[in-house]
Structure 1
Amino acid sequence: MNQAIYRKRRLVNHFNLMMAWITMAFGLFWLGWIFFTLFQQGFSSLSAAVFTMDTPTALSDGGLRNAIIGSILITFFGLLIGTPMGILCGIYLAEFGNNSKLASATRFMNDILLSAPSIVIGLFIYALCVKPVGHFSGWAGSLALSLLVVPVVVRTTENMLRLVPNSLREAAFALGTPKWKLVLMVTLRAAKAGVLTGVLLAFARISGETAPLLFTALNNQFYSLDMNRPIANLPNVIYTFAMNPSPALISLAWAAALLITLAVLLINILARYLGSKSHS
């Protein structure tokens, strides 16, 4: 009887493992196909003009210089606005809030914001910052992206701080360290690699967001560093050029998609490295 049960369990185990391998291979096949197509089309579309010329019309040559610079500005300021708020909120939840009602409400709202569709964030910033002033702007785009940064950084910061052993806190308290100095000099320093990982993951998430920028930063065909006006960005260039019948513009859309994918891939690799370093 025991042998029959053992054989049955082994059969079930082998079947489940086989199904797991099949589903994994199925997912990796499509992912590999996507990457192969993207790299094939993207690398064939790259040239010096992509980095030295601005976005063209359908009947002229051009590149992606203005869109690359615009994306860097929008994402940088979005990260700059959202990161401090996320870290401070995560510190409160892990070090000060404990199980208070305010902390529970904050976690609940953060979970909602974390899963909210990005287009809803874009519409909110449009109603708040674009419609009242009567024009789109890079600042509105950065503000919309910052709202996507905050929940990721909050969640990561809180989790990383909770992994810091309480013995470190108790030792610091025993030496008479104030609470604020304990947070800055002990717990936050111990969790800095994990917190930085969360910031990088948030940056990777906002790098390819299109919907919020459609309602905030819009686009600009020309080179501009004025964040108070519409500014070019790679996600909107991909959205616009991919639907254009011109082969030259479609080629630029592939190049832009490749640049964003490589940036996100490198950032995720760096985040994985820092994450593994924080647990070692």
Structure 2
Amino acid sequence: MSHAAVQDTPTPVPPPGGPGSLSQRSLPRWAPAGFALLGILVGVGIGTAAGLDSKVQWGLIAVIAFVVISYVVTSTVENQRQARDRLATSVVWVCFVLAVIPLFSLLWTTISRGIEVLDGYFLSHSMAGVPSAEVGGGVYHALIGTLEQVGIATVISAPIGLLTAVYLVEYGKGALARAVTFFVDVMTGIPSIVAGLFILSIMLMTEIKPSGLMGALALAILMIPVVVRSTEEMLKLVPNELREASLALGVPKWRTILKVVLPTAIGGITTGVMLAIARIAGETAPIILLVFGSQLINPNPFQGAQSSLPFYIFEQYKAGEVASIDRAWAAALVLIAFVMILNLVARGIARWKAPKTGR
């Protein structure tokens, strides 16, 4: 065959939608929502036809139908690569929904049960002289106890955690730094009851009476490793170029840390401290051991028994009366609101102190 004949031979063009085409068929953007709706309909239909009473079984059938329908339709319309990608995306969405449902269920139950009792009177009165079976009383004494105990724990643990993180990042080398890091990791996972037992042993040896301060010391033990770990990660994110520029100008290292490193990471450090506060605000075991609880308002955390929101919830629910259980749900709602406010404040500070980026 001549060279001219070879040049005149037309090049085969792949059919539209084939593997070599630039314009392959694709599903519309609303396809995942349609697959989900179809999966729900399949779950309801099979559950009704089979006479299944549990809605959980209906949900599992709908989830399986959603994943199968997504994969089959995508494989048919598009290709196997897109089908596998759709399958992975569907599994991620299913896991997300399965994780969110219990959280929303818990939040909805707490709000619906707690809102019946939560009002101004509940927030401004204590349980002094109110029997557990009677309606009335409030959470004021427990709220005061929580604010004081968490505040003392923060004053103790925040400086210790901050300075420990600065040592590990800026100075720590060798066996001592490795030992400190190891013990910080161990302390992060210790149960709260262990911290309470540690402070209780000290109280028994020194004959110290229960008080809010003892509970705050146990909470500080739980808070320190969280502050250390979060602060350490924030300090590692500070660019070394900033440190080198400051040291090149003859600034001492301690002043570089104080004037350059810490202000750069202050947003993340504050966020970590706020999240650590939110973590210890719901601890109950150390308070039961060390604070003992009280029905009266005790504004002095250094003397006498105190209460706290977690202890109040435990105490009221343990009573078993209708009125006390309602108060327990209302106190749980107050505690959730307290933790939520702390998280919102932490996010606001992080966004406020975040480095400004420009184009």
TM-score between the two structures when normalised by the length of structure 2: 0.73
Cα distance, 1:134–1:171 mapped onto 2, change above 3 Å:
closer
**Residue in structure 1 matching 2:198, options 109, 124, 133:** 124
Other-structure match for 1:14: 86
Other-structure match for 2:119: 47
Q: In the alignment, residue 13 of structure 1 is paired with which amino acid?
A: D
Q: CA deviation at 1:65?
A: 1.1
Instruction: Indicate conservation of the 8 Å contact 1:209/1:235, yes or no.
Output: yes
Q: Give 5+ residue unaligned stretches, structure 2.
A: 1-18, 20-77
Instruction: Indicate conservation of the 8 Å contact 1:50/1:64, yes or no.
Output: yes
Instruction: Indicate conservation of the 8 Å contact 2:282/2:310, yes or no.
Output: yes
Q: CA deviation at 1:215?
A: 1.2
Q: CA deviation at 1:10?
A: 2.9
Cα distance, 1:232–1:148 mapped onto 2, change above 3 Å:
same
Other-structure match for 1:278: 354
The separation in 2 between residues aligned to 1:130 and 1:242, in whole angstroms, is 29
Q: CA deviation at 1:150?
A: 0.6
Q: How many residues align?
A: 278
- Tell me, yes or no, if structure 1 residue 82 matches structure 2 residue 190: no
Other-structure match for 2:58: none
Instruction: Indicate conservation of the 8 Å contact 2:133/2:324, yes or no.
Output: no
- Tell me, yes or no, if structure 1 residue 31 matches structure 2 residue 120: no
Q: In the alignment, residue 73 of structure 1 is paired with which amino acid?
A: E
Q: CA deviation at 1:59?
A: 4.4
Instruction: After superposition, give the CA deviation of every residue in 1:45-70 in whole Å (9 maximum; x if it has no partner).
Output: 11222122212322443111111111
Instruction: Indicate conservation of the 8 Å contact 1:130/1:137, yes or no.
Output: no
The separation in 2 between residues aligned to 1:182 and 1:129, in whole angstroms, is 42
**Residue in structure 1 matching 2:225, options 125, 136, 151:** 151
Deviates more, 1:123-132 or 1:206-215: 123-132
Q: CA deviation at 1:7?
A: 4.0
Q: CA deviation at 1:253?
A: 0.8
Other-structure match for 1:91: 166
Deviates more, 1:249-258 or 1:225-234: 225-234
SS at match of 2:126: coil
Write the mapping of 1:164-243 to structure 2, written as runs, cut at 5 A.
Answer: 164-227=238-301, 228-243=303-318
Q: CA deviation at 1:279?
A: 5.4
Instruction: Indicate conservation of the 8 Å contact 1:113/1:151, yes or no.
Output: yes
Q: With CA pairs under 8 Å and 6+ residues apart, which has the higher RCO, 1 or 2?
A: 1
SS at match of 2:185: helix
Cα distance, 1:130–1:193 mapped onto 2, change above 3 Å:
farther
The separation in 2 between residues aligned to 1:11 and 1:240, in whole angstroms, is 54
SS at match of 1:44: coil
Percent identity, please.
Answer: 35
Instruction: Indicate conservation of the 8 Å contact 1:130/1:140, yes or no.
Output: no
- Tell me, yes or no, if structure 1 residue 108 matches structure 2 residue 197: no
Deviates more, 1:46-55 or 1:76-85: 46-55
Other-structure match for 2:338: 263
Q: In the alignment, residue 120 of structure 1 is paired with which amino acid?
A: V
The separation in 2 between residues aligned to 1:214 and 1:114, in whole angstroms, is 21
SS at match of 1:45: coil
TM-score between the two structures when normalised by the length of structure 1: 0.93
Instruction: After superposition, give the CA deviation of every residue in 1:228-278 in whole Å (9 maximum; x if it has no partner).
Output: 221111110101111222222111111111111011112112222333443
Q: Give 5+ residue unaligned stretches, structure 1.
A: none
